[in-house]
Amino acid sequence: MSLPEPDAEPTPRWGVVLFDLDGTLADTIPLIVASYQHAFRAVLGEEPTEERARAWIGRPLLEALLEESPEHGHELDRAYREWNLANTSRLIRRYAGVPELLAALAAAGARTAVVTSKRRHAAGLALTGVGIDDLVGVAASLEDTERHKPFADPLLHAARVLGVEPQECVYVGDAVVDLRAARAAGMAAVGVTWGAGVPAELEAAGPDALVRTVAELAAVLLPGAGPLGRV
């Protein structure tokens, strides 16, 4: 997918663009859902529905599993991670237009980074799997903070790593916890509807923009590259 030809030299709306990873930059949703379903089958002999599994996306894995099954959470976590790593290259998919968007942001002078609830190693594998590891790096992962989204801690950690103020940043994500974390951190918030989140719930969270396509996201982040995204 190609971004629209700019009418003028695009200027970033925000100098720093922080991205969620799963369901935002990389299409890992089928992989994550299948990993949850495998873990529950292997450990508990049951399989969560896709809707139930998608609701956990965006939260730290172990936290979500311990909440679902305090007794078996750690065993579920182990089964999930083993299966997920073994099947990442087979099931991960690239979102069309994302590499071009990241390249356009860099060319326009914007700084970009990933803030994710994944472990750093798993995040690196995902970025490599969709071929954008040379375009964006991880500024905050699971290991970097004690509290995670929807708390502000990982986003504020990323701002410190980059040496910028939170108000210079926008956080882009596909889940309500992403938007809440952005607000808690004093950052702008942009929601995308192509991931795990329910559009109506994302809209209710009050983002600065809610976009349906990568082209719409490009228009929000780089106003000179085309019309602003429409909800």
Band of pLDDT at residue 228, cut at 50, 70 and 90: very low
Q: What contacts 114, CB < 8 A, 6 or more positions away?
A: 18, 19, 20, 21, 25, 123, 127, 136, 137, 138, 139, 140
CATH of domain 16-28+93-225: 3.40.50.1000
Distance (Å, rounded) from C-alpha 107 to C-alpha 149? 30
The pLDDT of residue 59:
87
For residue 70, the one-letter residue type is P
Q: Which H or E run includes 225?
A: none
Distance (Å, rounded) from C-alpha 65 to C-alpha 72? 8
Residue 7 CB-density burial (10 A; 0-12 exposed, 13-18 middle, 19+ buried)? exposed
| Rg of the chain (C-alpha set) | 17
Both tokens assigned to 15: 């100098």
Judge whether 208 counts as a catalytic residue.
Answer: no
Band of pLDDT at residue 10, cut at 50, 70 and 90: confident
14 touches 110 (CB < 8 A): yes
Residue 120 CB-density burial (10 A; 0-12 exposed, 13-18 middle, 19+ buried)? middle
Tens-place pLDDT, residues 36-85: 999 999 999 999 999 999 989 888 899 999 999 999 999 999 999 999 99
Q: Where are the alpha helices (DSSP H) in the chain?
A: 29-44, 50-55, 61-68, 73-91, 98-107, 120-129, 153-162, 176-185, 199-204, 214-221
Does the domain made of 29-91 have the CATH classification 1.10.3470? Answer: no
Distance of CA 221 to the CA centre of its chain: 16
Band of pLDDT at residue 8, cut at 50, 70 and 90: low
Band of pLDDT at residue 1, cut at 50, 70 and 90: very low
Q: Which of 7, 20, 22, 77 is catalytic?
A: 20
Tens-place pLDDT, residues 128-177: 999 999 999 999 999 999 999 999 999 999 999 999 999 999 999 999 99
Tens-place pLDDT, residues 185-209: 999 999 999 999 999 999 999 999 9
Band of pLDDT at residue 226, cut at 50, 70 and 90: low
Query: Which segments of the chain belong to CATH 1.10.150?
Result: 29-91
Nearest to 22 by CA among 65, 68, 48, 53: 53
The pLDDT of residue 224:
72
The pLDDT of residue 131:
96
Q: What is the pTM of this model?
A: 0.88
Band of pLDDT at residue 3, cut at 50, 70 and 90: low
Query: Which segments of the chain belong to CATH 3.40.50.1000?
Result: 16-28+93-225
